[in-house]
Amino acid sequence: MSTSIQLSRKAYSIGIIALGIQQLVRGDISGNFLPDLFSHGTGYYLLVYAWGILFTLSGVAMLIDWKTRMVALVSGGFFLTLLVLVYIPYFLFFSSDGHSLIGWSAAIEESAFVGASFIMADSYSLHSDHSGITRWLGKLAPYGRVFFSIMLIGYGADHFVYTKFVSEMVPSFIPGHYFWTYFTGTALIGAGVAIILKIKLRLVASLLGVMFFLWLVLLHIHRAMIDPVGNDGLELARVFVIFGFIGIAFLLASPKKGRA
């Protein structure tokens, strides 16, 4: 097994651990995993800590390579359940933001975690699928790239629909904010379509990983250092998410025959 596959798996695992710890420290579940509609009631804080602990432990299990395919499949199945049974109905029937593309951002990112979990699982062989649930979820693992690409296409479209807002996120020391906004949007949509259709998959996924890395270095780390706790720790969470997704992009780029 190649070193790049091992490092890619560990990058995603570390991102999951960091997100889990952040949710435990904040005492809240990220809006990317559960809508605010559920953040009330006497039992919510019990749910928060149970969620945070399980989230963190799943990352630890993947980091130390303990039943990683099973853990990733179960995680992907859980995220998919939240997406289909919670997020989609919520934005269709309860949310005032359900009419806008940016309002669906949390659901789009939930889809990305479905895809990331299945991509992680698909980087392992099928021999560990012993139980009925993992065998069934294992059939969905090859489609992880589709769920992940929904995020790429959705966020790429954001760059054209909300150009002014997105352009303001480009660091001030980089000229041509609108150019980079349109360029990035085009790259995200193109990457998403290419990954779904498996067009130059290894090349496209590798370039996507490089783009994510540049975002991490030039954008997200800087913004998190300025405001690590504001907006419910959103900027710091973005650092963890993009770090993990770098690993997922390079896992997509890795050859199947190099996996084990």
Q: For 203-226, what is the mean pLDDT?
A: 95
- Which residue did the predictor score with more confidence, 215 or 100? 215
The C-alpha atoms of residue 36 and residue 28 are separated, in whole angstroms, by: 10
At 41 the pLDDT is 67
pLDDT digits (tens, 9 = 90+) for 145-203: 999 999 999 999 999 999 999 999 998 889 999 999 999 999 999 999 999 999 999 99
At how many degrees (to 10) do helices 68-82 and 105-122 cross? Answer: 160
* pLDDT of 7 above 80: yes
In this structure, are residues 106 and 31 in contact, taking their beta carbons and an 8 Å threshold?
A: yes
**DSSP code per residue over 165-228:** HHHTTS-TTSS-HHHHHHHHHHHHHHHHHHHHHTSSHHHHHHHHHHHHHHHIIIIIHHHHHH-S
At 125 the pLDDT is 78
Q: For 123-132, what is the mean pLDDT?
A: 72
pLDDT band, residue 230 (cuts 50/70/90): confident
Q: Mean pLDDT across the chain, nearest whole number?
A: 90
pLDDT digits (tens, 9 = 90+) for 35-66: 776 666 677 888 889 999 999 999 999 999 99
Q: For 96-107, what is the mean pLDDT?
A: 82
